[in-house]
Amino acid sequence: MNQDQKWEDFLIPYNQAVEELKIKLKGIRKEFSKGNRHIPIEFVTGRVKPVNSIIGKAALRNIPFDKIDTEMQDIAGLRIMCQFVEDIHEVVRLLRNRNDMKIIEERDYITNKKESGYRSYHVVFEYPVQLIDGEKRILVEIQVRTLAMNFWATIEHSLNYKYQGEFPDAINVRLKRAAEAAFQLDEEMSQIREEIQEAQHLFSHSKRPVIDETSNRY
């Protein structure tokens, strides 16, 4: 068996876990929608870490191959986007109450932001994947954040790829300033959350105007 095949086999349960969890988390969203309640989950994304990223991280942290599955927590990763900071806490509560995952670690980077300004809530858990040879329990990480937090994190990640973590001082200052601006936006939206939710409820239950795509007018 060549190396590529070994990695493909190794990642089978991780790919399966991501697909299963995306369906389950989207199912939660549908439940709230059917119950005519505010939906704490805006949308869900997921991915399995690329092989080159796994190898690079393992080398950086001196993780031997036979311990990657127990010492690397984010090979399977999902992100849950929320409208409000309060939704993040509701989503975390829902995750804690599930019996199909065993939470082993929580990292609150909202209350305790990173030095860079990064904010998000991370939940790491064991998830049982049913394979033809039996059950395999793997580690999965879910990041729960607002849309504003995700926008900042996406930009920071792109810049990190360019500068390899060594940001110029001017970029660092602007990133931190932008992180605070994003969080301030979340704070402001929380202050008028009830009005926003009421408006969204009214909009979703009204007849929406038909758009004439040829004229770009309603």
Q: Which of 45, 210, 61, 59 is nearest to 142 (CA)?
A: 45
| Residue 197 burial (C-beta neighbours within 10 Å; 0-12, 13-18, 19+) | middle
* pLDDT digits 0-9 by tens, 27-60: 999 999 887 788 899 999 999 999 999 999 999 9
Query: Is 141 designated active site?
Result: yes
Q: Point out the catalytic residue in the list 42, 135, 141, 194.
A: 141
Selected from 2.60.120.10, 3.30.460.10, 2.60.40.3620, 3.40.50.300, the CATH number assigned to the domain covering 3-147 reads 3.30.460.10
pLDDT for position 161: 75
pLDDT for position 204: 66
pLDDT for position 218: 34
Q: What are the extents of the domains in the chain?
A: 3-147
Q: Which has the higher per-residue pLDDT, 38 or 88?
A: 88
pLDDT for position 216: 45
* pLDDT band at residue 181 under the 50/70/90 scheme: very high
